Amino acid sequence: MKDGKLFSIGSVKAVKREDIPKNRSAIIRISSVALSLVFAGIVLLFFDLNPFTVFATIIEGSVGSASRVQQTIVKAIPLTIASLGILVAFKMKFWNIGGEGQIVMGALAASFVALNFGDAPRPVLLLLMAVASVVAGGIWALIPAAFKAKMGTNEVIFTLMMNYIAIKFVTYLQYGPWRDPNSKGFPKIPNFSENGLLPSLFGVHIGWVIALILTVAVYLFINYTKKGYEITVVGASIDTAGYAGMNIPSVIMTAMFISGGLCGLVGMIQASAIEKTLVYGISANYGFTAIITTWLARLNAAAVLFVCIAFAMLLQGASFIQLAMNVPAAVAGVVQGVILFFVLGSEFFIRYKVLFTRGKSGSSEGKEAR
């Protein structure tokens, strides 16, 4: 990527933009959303569905009634908190693909507390569960972080593989030592006591309050604290951070502990509020989906909240159209994919400009396509 050149195929090449005016990037983003809707519409036409009705039904299905709004919010909560966690790591250009595993380990630690100290008073128990989940998720993220900081291992592979270890370990517990002896052979861990369940506020469990508080907290942390600044600098340039005298391994480990800790908290919230016990599928892909939403939010904590709500609407609306309009699940998935493809793809055009060179390749003169 020397000289900002990304690739060059024949007479087409992509060059990094020096900087892009705000209105220009806004135009690219808006047109990408518009294009995504057009293409999704074409896909729908293929299946004999009226795209306008489908889009309207998606919105109706996600916010059209009180219970639908609640369901959308229930999906947005874990997505938002996990995205905030992923954001802290991504800000440092540490590609934490291990959100799933960190969620699972957080849920595991919270469940350990809930199952063993179920008689503790509710506020105490919930607080203990939350602390345990943050520590467990944090440690799970710290392992690859330590290897990266000390030995320069590749964190993408490392964090990804840690997911499977976590999930398989909980599967083992669920089918083995933690199985409820009263479950007639069903591989199920006992439910938490009443004290281990998160209370509800306005019809939705209080995870939504936690998500809002954390959004503000992470925003302030990244933008207004020394550690947050260090994380951003390490992400921008390790060399600069080194010259500035920062303790880079310490920054990496702190950031990853926070990243994993937030994901771990998602595990506690899902276990306590939704599952009421530990299941090996607790992460429900939120750790992976959060990567998309964090990226869409351009690593901005405030934007994360809105992107996650929008994404939750898309998830909720997609299952709604399956029912309301008899759209097969696969088609709903294709529509989601098309929209993501365009919106994420627009980032490319914001960061790079595509040049069509004439005649001999290598000529720096070219016509700008976009």
Partner 1 sequence: MKKKFLIVLLIMVLAVSMAACGNGGNDDGGGAADDNGDVSAEPLTVGFIYIGAVNDGGYTQAQHAGTMAAKDYFGDQVNTIWLEGIDDTNKQAATDAAKQMIDQGAKVIVGTSFGFGEALNEMANSGEYDDITFLHFSGSYINDTNLGNYFGAMEEPRYLSGIIAGMQTKSNKLGYVAAYPYTEVQIGINAFALGAQSVNPDAEVKVVYINSWYDPAKEKEAAEALLSQGCDVITQHADTVGPQLAAAGEGKFAIGYNLDNSAVEGLEDAFLTAPVWNHDIFLIPTIQGIIDGTWTPESYYGTMADGYVDLAPLTKNVDADAAAKVDEIMSEIKAGEFPIFTGPIKDNEGNERVAEGKTLNRAEIWETDYLVEGVTSGE
Q: Write out the residues near partner 1 by the rule CB under 8 A.
A: 65-71, 73-75, 171, 175, 184-188, 201-204, 208, 212, 215-216, 219, 270, 274-276, 279-282, 284, 302, 305-306, 309, 319-320, 322-324, 328-330
- Distance of closest approach, residue 109 Cβ to partner 1, in angstroms: 18
Rounded Cα gap, residues 102 and 254, in angstroms? 15
C-alpha pair distances (Å), 24 with each of 20, 35, 246, 255: 7, 16, 36, 33
Q: How many Å is the Cα radius of gyration of the chain?
A: 23
Nearest-approach distance from CB 147 to partner 1, in angstroms: 27
Tokens of 31: 């047109």
Find the shortest distance in angstroms from Cβ 219 to partner 1: 7
SS3 per-residue string spanning 118-163: CCCCHHHHHHHHHHHHHHHHHHHHHHHHHHHHHHCCCHHHHHHHHH
Nearer CB in complex with partner 1: 94/286 = 286
State the DSSP H helix or E strand holding residue 13, giving kind and residue range, or none if neither: strand 12-16
The smaller minimum CB distance to partner 1, of residues 246 and 273, is found at 273
**In this complex, which beta carbon is closest to partner 1, that of residue 93 or of residue 276?**
276
Residue whose CB is less far from partner 1, 129 or 331: 331
- In whole angstroms, the minimum distance from the beta carbon of 141 to partner 1 comes to 22
- Least distance (Å) from partner 1 to the CB of residue 277? 8
Indicate the DSSP class of residue 355.
E
Q: Pick the closer one to partner 1 by CB: 42 or 212.
A: 212
Closer to partner 1 at the Cβ: 7 or 172?
172
Nearer to partner 1, 224 or 243 (CB): 224
Structure tokens at 201: 């506020």
Q: Pick the closest to residue 138 from 235, 251, 247, 263 (CA basis).
A: 263
Closest distance to partner 1 from the beta carbon of 201 (Å): 7
Q: Are 158 and 165 in contact (CB under 8 A)?
A: no
Smallest distance, partner 1 to C-beta of residue 75, A: 8
Element (H, E) at 59: helix 51-63
CB closer to partner 1, 156 vs 206? 206
Q: How far apart are CA 79 and CA 95, in angstroms?
A: 17
Place of tokens 């800000």: 91
Shortest Cβ distance from residue 31 to partner 1 (Å)? 24
Handedness of CA 25, 28, 30, 33 (dihedral sign): negative
